[in-house]
Structure 1
Amino acid sequence: MIERIAEFCIRRRNLVVGALAVLTLVLSWFALHVEVRTVFEDMLPSRHEYIQTHQKFKDTFGGSNMVTIMVEVDKGEIFDAKVLEKVRTITLGLREVSAVNPYQITSLASKKLKEVRASTDGIETKPLMWPDLPANAEEMAALRDSVLRNPLVYGPYVSKDLQATLITVDFIDREVDYATVFREIRDLIARVDDGSVSIRVVGDPMLYGWVNHYVPETINLIAAAMALTLAMLFVLLRTWRGVLLPLLAGVVSAIWALGICQLLKVHFEPLVIVVAMLITSRAVSHSVQIVNRFDDELAVLPPGADCARVAAKVALADLFRPGMLGVIADAACMAVVALSPIPMLQKLTLLSVIWVSTLTISAVILTPVLLSYIRRPHGTVHPVDFAPLLRKVLDFGVWMATSRFRYAVIGCSVVVMAVSGYYAFHLKVGDANPGSPILWPEARYNVDSAAINARFQGVDRMFIVIGEDGKEGLVKSNEVLHAMNSFQRFIEAQPEVGGSLSIADVIPVVNSTLREGNPRYLELGDSQAVNGSLVAILDSVSEPGDMDRFTDTAYANGAVTMMFRDRQGETIRTAVARIKEFIDTHPLAEGKWQLAGGLIGVMAAVNEVILSSQIEHIALALFVLVVICTVVYRSTVAGMLFMVPVIISNTLTFSFMAWKGIGMNINTVPVAALGIGLGVDYAFYVADRIKEEIAAGSTPEHAIHEALHSAGMGVLVTASVLIFSTLLWWASSLRFQAEMGLLMAIWLGVSAASALFVMPSVIYVFRPAFIFGRQEKPVLAGLRPAAAAA
């Protein structure tokens, strides 16, 4: 079958090239219109308990797209007319920002923050600073005193040293466009920022806005990586075909993948550019292998009119199986990620599988077909020859495999797998460091986040709900209020939880106010009747929307909102475990606890999904790889043999992630899944070439020598080129891209070293039957001059 495919593609090369050119042109139009954006709801595992709670109550208690703005003075206090005017301008300006929830804008200049007052006429609530600013020094002093008396403002919204104040705003999840919100909020702040104050902004819309902000830089890095790749290929391969055809393979695969995804209405996530580069590197790798094999065949063919066609046909026939096997392995390992209930990962999986599959066309078929057109294939374009140096490296690999040292190689490999496998279990799920792992610690966003966390209770929030639908007034009950109060004291003992807020914090303020501000009564009432009365009084003087942060309109469900100082995976898991511990030990007679909403609640759900499926996905990907190898080579030993480079490359990479504090999160999972297929690609080419040489009658020593000096040369060239080009990503302003580029370089380096130095030793020692079985005649005896000469 392979021989017939090769014969057809070369004989009908005009038809093949023409058809692929037309399809590429058509798909180019669609690829240019692919949508590049981040969709928040795609990150949510919708069936998870926490996500269902979040979706149900986010419009009432606050969603996960909250933006926090801190206005800070270096000296003095914020109670200055010019400073408060900036707060007021920002607060009013936020109403005009796209997708904003106008009922979730809270600051000193909003109606949300109020003072509860009692007089002979009764009790009333009055906004602290709305609609006008304090007109004189007396009013400014009165505002200051009101803030200091209000525990719901002093601390949560005005810092303890009175040098900073917060503005919080939430957005409608289904409508938010991060790039637009990022631009509009920065423009708003630029209008008031005259250098007299420091204005810091955090929140997921700003975080992902920074990702979009750095897209032009990312494109420049891609161009630089591509330029370095082409330059190194030009120097090492010394032919224009060795430069242009791998480039063409990468471009064609990208056009096909993006065009097909646009037809399927799958958008492109900016953060997965790393995955795209990883797949493109596979296109370059497959294409270089074919070009290298083409050159090997030319070396033993006499110059003639048909030598290019014959060499191209042999290269296509001989490398079709390992090339296709590599493509199928990459696609199958990536497809496992689709089992995740997170839509973003499912869509990314579809994009990746399509992209990897296009390598069949762009590299495995198109490259040898185009090679067959070359009229004068002999010769080079520059005199610098690195081949002798590369051959010394390959000779060293041959010596390691065929000398007594081969046993030491196998022994060291076992030790490396055991040690790195042990440390791989220390890999953390979720974010492993404070701040956002997407950006560097010194990035403006992380600096702002640290500054806000240092002055306030925390910028990232989680809410849990207590109550039950249909039980109107349940939140007013003594049991629920005291349960909230007890829970808040319990959860705030965790250092990473800066504070919490619920209606159980508001009622004591009303209770104290009714008693002329006596601090002795700054607590919940002694009975349900008292607490119910206090809630009724508060409700009677509140305007619509005032209580949304604390309870729904029917008082059937109330929220406890917790502020977190960091979003590390360990912090979130500890908090969730403590919440569940409290719920188990404090059962309710009426109502129930519902976990968990807000950004931290969403991240807790995502982390739990990744944690529960991480081992299963890795195991399933490895199993799929074993099955594919077993079917292709009709040997279970083949499946086990090719696990060696996979296990080495992946355990070493996961150990490195654990060492450097790179967590397994929604962004790194796809890279890890694709890395499983990446770890075995090079081994396919080397093992398959050894099998060919053995089938042609070579001795094991000669077979390993020929395999390393042909397929191994391609592995060495592509690995060297791609390692250096991916290391360029370390210059990225996005920490995630830089770290993923480093991981790609490690994967490529370890998998290449395994293919060149470990696999030949294992094959030589254990002599697997699917390679050293019965002596077969070459499949393409008449088209294999290199093998015949051997």
Structure 2
Amino acid sequence: MLEQQPLHYPAVRTASVPERLIFGARHFILAFFTLATVFLGWQAWHLQPDASFAKLLPQQHPFIQNMNDHMKDLRAAGASLKVSVAVKRGDIFNDDYLSTLGQIADEIFYIPGVNKNGLKSLWSPDVRWTMVTEEGFEMGSVIPQDYDGSPASLQQLRTNLQRSGVIGSMVADDFKSTIIEVPIYDTDPTTGEQLNYLAFSRALEKQVRQQFESDNIRIHIIGFPKLIGELLEGIGAIFLFAAVTLLITCVLLYVYTRDLRATLAPLTCSLLAVIWQLGLLHLFGFGLNAYSILVPFLVLAIGVSHGVQMINAVALQLQGEVDRLQASRLAFRSLYIAGMTALISDGIGFITLLVIDIGVISELGIAASIGVACIICSNLVLLPVLVSYIGISKKGVYHMRVDPQRRHPLWSLISRCATPKVALVSVLVAAAGYAVGIAGARNLQVGDLDAGAPELRPDSRYNLDNAFITGNYAVSTDILVVMVETPVQGCGLFENIRLIDRFGWYMENVPGVQSAVSMADVVRLTAMALNEGNPRWQTLSRDQRAIDGGVANVPPALMNRDCSLALVVLFLDDHKAETLQRVVDAAQTFEEEYGTDQVRFKLAAGNAGIEAATNQEIAVAQTQILVLVYGVVAALVFLSFRSSVASACIIIPLGLTSALCHALMAWLGIGIKVATLPVVALGVGVGVDYGIYIYNRLTHYLRRGLPMQEAYYQALSTTGRAVAFTGFALGVGVITWAFSPIKFQADMGILLTFMFLLNMVGALWLLPALAYFLVKPEPPRKRESAGEAEQGDHSHVQTG
């Protein structure tokens, strides 16, 4: 049994440079961090939500670059709303409904951010009907200019709608609702300011839904701006879960330490790290988007993890004949290398997210990296200094003590993982776990797997609105726009328009495409109308003059002004990844076979086009992230311990967790997308801490000549129990996210809980099994002096 040796003050003479600097300037450190907290707290107070549409896009992807090249010609640049005004009783053919519809359209018109030129409702003059008579064309606005609300006017409206072709797209088939199309400016064209989606969403709720909904009128709103607004509204719920998580963590910390000072000190330092992080984000010009809002919880989790280790180490030192200052110094000495290695691994692992060309993920990586830098200051500098002043009560020290005369039954049981038979079984079980993870991950898909907005619950108001609109209108809300580039005034030439028509027919026969609309359809319909409506004339004439007459009727939504760009709009069944990829592959195949110097088919705009580009970026990035984060962590562990065996013992359990996490995602129907892609990097970043602390203490006791099982028992008695507590506490705290109204937060809560717990289990169960086979303990030798032993030097452990 390892005897407890009193640590004497002369051991301080062996202190490292960081220890001398930190504990030699304790007063200055406390003053500096106090001033920093005040300043950064003030900065954090002014932090604003950030929901830029552009930051959700992979800007370097060819699809997005093509879309940006033609941004002026694309109506609303892919950001738009559909506002459905529905009646519960009767139909739309009554004056009260039409008056309300007009008032709603007028109210929307004046909301900042609306592209007023593109706003369209039944009252818009460009919503017209056309018919062919014996005297030629007759046309007019759907709502007659002499409309007065009389039965005759309402009957005329019904007749005009039947001639207009908007039934199914702007008017529901059952005539119980109509849609107001609202294009949005993501960036104000005059001021260049980004649209405040939260304020915009609240304006819609207050000025439209709350003002005009009644017993008979129902408002349904969908579109990207509204979706982002709903996500930002959920931040209130996120803060509620933050409070719950904080409370749970506080209670569990007190149960672990049985001392109020030992509970509040690590919790306070971790909260300070969160405040500093938020303040620095504002100072550097960043905001919090719907995804990075979860990073402060991660910073708190990492901070508590390292704080518990420090408190635990101080309590162990206080069992000897040392005062609180010496105990804090020796605790710092034993942990700072392992803690610094773990935190630098976390930070660089998070920085790897910058390889993903999606703004919200890059900013998430930046925010997490800044948070880790704050934890280094708060938990490796401020916390030991703070504890050197306040200390830990005798009750807390007694509760956290390690009794050398009494074997702890739980640690004795777990220490058997470092015995030959159990280690062999553990390695075999881990290999089976890898096999299960790899097999299960085959069903893992990239992109969204659910209808509506997968970021929100299926029963959320937004998804219910989406279900209403998709269920009552014939046009899909999943739109992919192909941009057809031609020379100026070239899109209306017969050969070019015929190729556009052929492309539309080709894409309509691709599974997953409901319909395709292009300028060729308008030209063919015009030809039929000019020939007394005879369907035999619904074709493309070889006479260029006839085609020119049809091109004149093509709306701006399908062709730009100088006829150098034609748009083919594809309405899709859904936005699942396989559907999008199939459509993209078909379009690219057609371009390769039939595209010419005069006609080029460029992908892609529309919400489905943007999502297709995002999916492709994520499909490539998920492999890059895994390789980078594991490569960086393995390299840092190797540099810290100077041992490839150390890297293997720490990384292999993490890899098992990642493999099983992918299988869990496939089983739960969670796809790899913007919200879930960072989870693996975040989980690895937190999980590597467990392995580093366990391996650090295990090799420390091996250098003191203990056999493997006994060395592991001692590691469990000191650091292992803190690892077990941290994994359990973080898992219990984060699982509360599963009840969030924001589905991606609930998904992240489930996945992070799984990774926190399994990473903890892997460090306690699989790491010692691997160490048994890979680490060769040194033969017994004279025990190191107390001062040298507690420095936790990583070198000179024989490995094989």
Asked whether the two chains share a fold, i.e. TM above 0.5, the reply is yes
Letter of the aligned partner of 1:623 in structure 2?
G
C-alpha deviation, 1:496, in angstroms: 4.1
Partner of residue 205, structure 1: 225
Preserved CA contact (<8 Å) 2:64 2:604: yes
Match 1:686 to one of 694, 700, 718: 694
Aligned to 2:258: 238
What secondary structure does 1:104 align onto? coil
Q: Distance in 1 between matches of 2:495 and 2:781?
A: 82
Which consecutive segments of 4 or more residues in structure 1 shift more than 6 A? 381-390, 773-777
Determine the structure 1 residue equivalent to 2:210.
Answer: 190
Q: What TM-score do the two structures reach when normalised by structure 2?
A: 0.90
Change over 3 Å in CA distance of 1:655–1:773 after alignment to 2 = farther
Distance 1:311 1:140, change over 3 A: same
Residue 166 (structure 1) aligned to one of 179, 193, 206: 179
CA contact (8 A) 1:66 1:170 kept: yes
Counterpart in 2 of 1:334? 350
| Structure 2 equivalent of residue 177 of structure 1 | 196
Task: Note if 1:605 corresponds to 2:631.
Answer: no
Q: How far apart, CA to CA, are the structure 1 residues paired with 2:299 and 2:786?
A: 31
**Is the CA contact (8 Å cut-off) linking 1:689 and 1:711 kept in structure 2?**
yes
Matched position secondary structure for 2:390:
coil
Q: CA deviation at 1:101?
A: 0.9
Report the counterpart of residue 311 of structure 2 in structure 1: 291
Tell me how far 1:589 sits from its aligned partner.
Answer: 6.7
2:18 pairs with 1:5: yes
Amino acid across the alignment from 2:416? W
* Residue type at the aligned position of 1:184: A
Partner of 1:89: 103
Determine the structure 1 residue equivalent to 2:767.
759
Aligned residue type for 1:269: N
Map 1:289-438 → 2, pairs under 5 A: 289-299=309-319, 301-302=320-321, 306-374=322-390, 377-380=393-396, 391-402=408-419, 404-438=421-455
The more displaced of 598-607 and 121-130 is: 121-130
Deviations 1:231-287 (A, max 9, x none): 111122211133212211221111221222222111111322223212220100000
Does structure 2 retain, via aligned residues, the 8 Å contact 1:507–1:524? yes
- CA distance, structure 2, for counterparts of residue 239 and residue 330 of structure 1: 29
Distance 1:115 1:630, change over 3 A: same
Deviation at 1:420, TM superposition (A): 0.6
Aligned counterparts of 1:41 and 1:501: Cα–Cα separation in 2: 26
**Which one-letter code corresponds to 2:483 in the other structure?**
V
**Alpha-carbon distance in structure 1 between the residues aligned to 2:178 and 2:509:** 25
Partner of 1:271: 291
The aligned counterpart of 1:459 is 477
Residues 420-467 of structure 1 show CA distances to partners (whole Å, capped at 9, x for unaligned) of: 123224321111222212111111111211221222221232211113
Q: CA separation of 1:94/1:786 partners in 2, compared to 1, >3 Å: closer, same or farther?
A: closer
Name the structure 2 match of 1:699.
707
The answer as to whether partners of 1:134 and 1:143 remain within 8 angstroms in 2 is no
2:503 alignment partner in structure 1: 487
CA contact (8 A) 1:235 1:384 kept: no
Task: Tell me the residue number matched to 2:652.
Answer: 644
| Secondary structure in structure 2 of the residue aligned to 1:711 | helix
CA contact under 8 A between 1:550 and 1:560: conserved in structure 2?
A: yes
The answer to whether 1:663 aligns with 2:671 is yes
1:420-569 to structure 2, matched below 5 A, reads 420-456=437-473, 457-468=475-486, 471-494=487-510, 496-525=512-541, 527-536=543-552, 538=553, 547-569=555-577
Task: Give the partner amino acid of 2:504.
Answer: Q
Letter in 2 for 1:112: D
Unpaired runs of at least 5, structure 2:
1-13, 189-194, 794-800
**C-alpha displacement at 1:519, in angstroms?**
4.0
Q: Return the alpha-carbon distance in structure 2 between the equivalents of residues 517 and 381 of structure 1.
A: 93
C-alpha displacement at 1:112, in angstroms?
Answer: 2.9
Aligned CA distance change for structure 1 residues 525 and 441 (closer, same or farther; 3 Å): same
Q: What is the CA distance between 1:484 and its match in structure 2?
A: 3.0
Question: Given the alignment of the two structures, is residue 577 of structure 1 paired with residue 585 of structure 2, yes or no?
Answer: yes
Size of the aligned set, in residue pairs, is 770
Q: How far apart in 2 are the matches of 1:620 and 1:535? A: 53
Instruction: Say which is worse superposed, 660-669 or 492-501, in terms of deviation.
Output: 492-501
Which residue in 2 is equivalent to 1:115? 129
Q: Which amino acid aligns with 1:333?
A: G
Tell me if structure 1 keeps the 8 A contact 2:259–2:393.
no
Instruction: State yes or no: 1:37 paired with 2:54.
Output: no
Match of 1:543 in 2: none
The alpha-carbon distance between structure 1 residues 80 and 478, as it changes in their structure 2 partners (threshold 3 A), is farther
Residues 541-592 of structure 1: per-residue CA shift (max 9 Å, x gap) = xxxxxx2211111112111122334322222212211222333343347221
Return 5+ residue gaps in structure 1 as ranges: 540-546
- Measured in 2, the distance between the counterparts of 1:389 and 1:168 equals 75
Measured after TM superposition, the shift of residue 32 of structure 1 is 1.4
Q: Which residue of 2 aligns with 1:102?
A: 116
User: Which residue of structure 2 aligns with residue 147 of structure 1?
Assistant: 161
**What one-letter code is carried by the residue in structure 1 that aligns with 2:48?**
E
Identity %: 25
SS, match of residue 566 in structure 1 = coil
1:635–1:360 CA distance, 2 compared to 1 (3 A)? same
- Pick one of 733, 739, 742 that aligns with 2:747: 739
Cα 1:145–1:124, aligned 2, differ >3 Å: closer, same or farther?
Answer: closer
Contact 1:679 1:747 in 2 (8 A): yes
Letter in 2 for 1:164: S
- The secondary structure found in structure 2 opposite 1:98 is coil
CA distance in 2, matches of 1:70, 1:173: 21
Q: How much does 1:675 deviate? A: 1.8
Counterpart of 2:576 in structure 1: which amino acid? Answer: Q
Distance 2:58 2:355 in 1: 11
2:318, 2:397 within 8 Å by CA — same for their partners in 1?
Answer: no
The equivalent position to 2:604 in structure 1, one of 596, 603, 611, is 596
- Counterparts of 2:569 and 2:504 in 1: how far apart (Å)? 9
Tell me the distance in 2 between the aligned counterparts of 1:491 and 1:76. Answer: 39
- The 2-side partners of 1:648 and 1:125 are apart by 68
Greater Cα offset, 664-673 or 203-212: 664-673
Rounded Cα–Cα distance in structure 2 between residues aligned with 1:324 and 1:381: 25
- Deviation at 1:13? 1.9
Q: How much has 1:778 moved relative to structure 2?
A: 4.6
CA contact (8 A) 2:295 2:364 kept: no
Distance 1:431 1:720 in 2: 31
Shift in alpha-carbon separation, 1:526–1:391, aligned structure 2, 3 A: farther
* Greater alpha carbon shift after TM alignment, 505-514 vs 366-375: 505-514
CA pair 495-445 structure 1, distance change in 2 beyond 3 A: farther
Q: TM-score, normalised by structure 1?
A: 0.92
1: CA distance, partners of 2:224 / 2:408: 51
Give the match for residue 67 of structure 1: 81
Alignment CA distance shift 1:156-1:437 (3 Å): same
Q: Does the CA-based 8 Å contact 2:513-2:570 persist in structure 1?
A: yes
State how far apart, in whole Å, the 1-side matches of 2:792 and 2:198 are: 57
The CA distance in 2 between the partners of 1:754 and 1:132, in whole Å, is: 77
1:122 CA displacement: 5.7
Q: Say if 1:194 and 1:681 are closer, same or farther in 2 by CA, change over 3 A.
A: same
Bigger mean CA offset, 167-176 vs 108-117: 108-117
Whether the 8 Å CA contact 1:465–1:594 is kept in 2: the answer is yes
Shift in Å, 1:513: 2.8
Task: State which drifts further: 685-694 or 696-705.
Answer: 696-705
